[in-house]
Amino acid sequence: MEHLAEPQRLVNARQFFVSFSSTRLDDATRMLSPKVVCTVPGQNKLSGVFHGPDEVRRHLVTLVEHTGGTFEVLKWMDWMVGEAHMAVLQYAQAQREARMYRGHHLYLLESDSDDLLSDIKVFFEDQAAADRFFV
pLDDT tens over the chain, length 135 residues: 556 788 999 999 999 999 988 888 999 999 999 999 999 999 999 999 999 999 999 999 999 999 998 999 999 999 999 887 999 999 999 999 889 999 999 999 999 999 999 999 999 999 999 999 998
Domains and CATH numbers, the chain: 8-133 (3.10.450.50)
**Which positions ≥6 away from 32 have C-beta within 8 Å?**
16, 53, 56, 116, 117
How far is 115 from 134, CA to CA, in rounded Å?
31
How far is 25 from 18, CA to CA, in rounded Å?
10
67: which DSSP letter?
Answer: T
